[in-house]
A and B are shown apart, each in its own frame.
Chain A
Amino acid sequence: QQQVKQSPQSLIVQKGGISIINCAYENTAFDYFPWYQQFPGKGPALLIAIRPDVSEKKEGRFTISFNKSAKQFSLHIMDSQPGDSATYFCAASITSGTYKYIFGTGTRLKVLA
């Protein structure tokens, strides 16, 4: 119940294309869903986050779509650029308590120039 399942494991997209990464969860108590971007040799960096009271959040080229009934959320990267090549992690947490995150296993994105 504590798992967050992330897919695909890896993704190759042409420059200018749309990258889509999906996550699914079971625990309905989760109420905060961040996405992190990690470059090699660096720690993950917060990209965008959403709460379940909204169905979509957009920041620049990055959009989270959230489907509460399906217990799924996804990251869309519009106009993907080679600089977006990184590993992306979704996560979920329960914001009462320790704010411990349960992370997905990551998606390695490569954007071809």
Chain B
Amino acid sequence: GAGVSQSPSNKVTEKGKDVELRCDPISGHTALYWYRQSLGQGLEFLIYFQGNSAPDKSGLPSDRFSAERTGGSVSTLTIQRTQQEDSAVYLCASSLDTWGYGYTFGSGTRLTVV
């Protein structure tokens, strides 16, 4: 597609429920990233995919967080047993596998845990 697409744009969930956030990167972009943006904070790195593999998962805050990418395209970020501190905007970005290109971000999924 023309840009990075994320769904849903907004998600309200009850504490303890599982949620899945979806990211459709730009066609042909091999690198995919998930970041989290909490209110008034910068962007916090979560995980990086190159193709379908995730060589850097160092930013995942706990084992409740997981992500996968299939077909070198769509990625899903799953948060199990959500907690109130998980409330944030979850941003996905993709890039060509070349350092000279900056990321292209999606508009994010705003997750609210009540």
A→B interface (CB under 8 Å): 6, 32, 34, 36, 41-46, 49, 89, 91, 95, 97-106
B interface, how many residues as a size bin?
20 to 34
Contact check: which of A41, A98, A100, A104 meets B42 at CB < 8 Å?
Answer: A104
In the complex, 20 of the A-B residue pairs with CB atoms within 8 angstroms, ordered by the A residue number, are A6-B42, A32-B99, A34-B102, A36-B105, A43-B4, A43-B93, A44-B43, A46-B102, A46-B103, A46-B104, A89-B42, A97-B56, A98-B48, A98-B56, A99-B48, A99-B95, A100-B33, A103-B35, A104-B42, A105-B42
Q: Does B65 belong to the interface (CB within 8 Å)?
A: no
Query: Which of chain B's residues have a CB closer than 8 A to the CB of A41?
Result: 107
Given contacts A41-B107, A43-B107, A43-B108, contact A98 B55 (CB under 8 A): yes
In the assembled complex, the Cα of A104 lies from the Cα of B43 at a distance in Å of 8
Is B4 in contact with A105, judged by CB distance below 8 angstroms?
Answer: no
In the assembled complex, the Cα of A2 lies from the Cα of B33 at a distance in Å of 18
The prevalent SS among residues of B at the interface is: strand
- Among B41, B44, B105, chain A packs the most CB atoms within 10 A around the CB of B105
Query: Which of chain B's residues have a CB closer than 8 A to the CB of A100?
Result: 33, 45, 48, 56, 59
In the assembled complex, the Cα of A44 lies from the Cα of B31 at a distance in Å of 17
Closest to A104 in B: B42
Residues 1-44 of chain B: 1 if any A CB is under 8 Å from the residue's CB, otherwise 0? 00010000000000000000000000000010101000011111
Q: How far is the CB of B67 from chain A (nearest CB, A)?
A: 14
Is A99 in contact with B99, judged by CB distance below 8 angstroms?
Answer: yes
In the assembled complex, the Cα of A104 lies from the Cα of B42 at a distance in Å of 6
Is B99 in contact with A101, judged by CB distance below 8 angstroms?
Answer: no
Q: How far is the CB of B33 from chain A (nearest CB, A)?
A: 7
Query: Which of chain A's residues have a CB closer than 8 A to the CB of B50?
Result: 98
Query: Which of chain B's residues have a CB closer than 8 A to the CB of A106?
Result: 40-42
Query: Which of chain B's residues have a CB closer than 8 A to the CB of A102?
Result: 45
Query: Which of chain A's residues have a CB closer than 8 A to the CB of B4?
Result: 43
In the assembled complex, the Cα of A27 lies from the Cα of B50 at a distance in Å of 24
In the assembled complex, the Cα of A106 lies from the Cα of B104 at a distance in Å of 18
Q: Does B91 belong to the interface (CB within 8 Å)?
A: yes
